[in-house]
Amino acid sequence: MEVAFERTGQRRYATVVTLPGRPPRRMDPAPGYDDDIPHDLVHYLAEAELGLSSGVFGRAAAGGGDGFVETAETPGDPRRQARERRRMKKREASLGRADRGDMARSEYFAGMCDIAWRRRAGAATPAWAERRTIPPEDAPAVDRILTRLDELAALWRGLPVGGALTFTWPNPTAKVRLPSDA
């Protein structure tokens, strides 16, 4: 599965997932835009680095991910698209029941890493975040994710509107796609 984090406007981005042989599905706008590092990108890195197969992106790779919808340019019969949405909701419910805690771990590590990265980068954090500390048992995983965030933040900041960082799930290494490459 290809995952792209695409800058779609001055303060907007989309998360696009494409499974082999299937039309792309988008979440646009995606939640938590940030000039330095968008929220969904932190989730992707946490899940990829920790091998979480039942988080947001593991579920999307398995055919779930009801937050992602087929793009408007996807041709097709509206009835077929409605059937596809129902099938995906059913698949997502099944994946949710099979989740062994990966989604909660994804949320936890994405939150911890976001705060830790902002502290380290000297960026502003909310007052409540100042009181949060990283438990010693989580520090090695957080450090791995922060190293990736450092690399990707520089790439994200340099993306023009229409550009994207693309990944092949679950690889945490990004390729930059510029608008002229599309």
Task: For the chain, give percent helix, strand, coil, nearest 5.
Answer: 50, 15, 35
Question: Residue 179: what residue type?
Answer: P
Number of domains in the chain: 1
CA dihedral sign of residues 76, 78, 84, 88:
positive
pLDDT tens digits, residue range 118-143?
888 887 777 777 778 899 999 999 99
The pLDDT assigned to 130 comes to 78
Mean pLDDT of 70-95: 62
Question: Model pTM?
Answer: 0.83
> What range defines the domain where residue 154 resides?
2-181
How confident is the model at residue 57, as a pLDDT?
Answer: 93
The residue among 181, 179, 170 whose CA lies nearest residue 3 is 170
**178: pLDDT strictly greater than 90:** yes
- How many beta carbons lie within 10 A of that of residue 57, not counting itself? 25
Q: What is the dihedral of CA 81, 87, 91, 96, to 10 degrees?
A: 80
For range 67-87, the mean pLDDT: 64
Burial class (CB in 10 A: 0-12, 13-18, 19+), 6: buried
Let me know: does 171 contact 48? Beta carbons within 8 Å.
Answer: yes
**pLDDT over 70 percentage in the chain:** 81
152-163 pLDDT, tens digit per residue, is 999 999 999 999
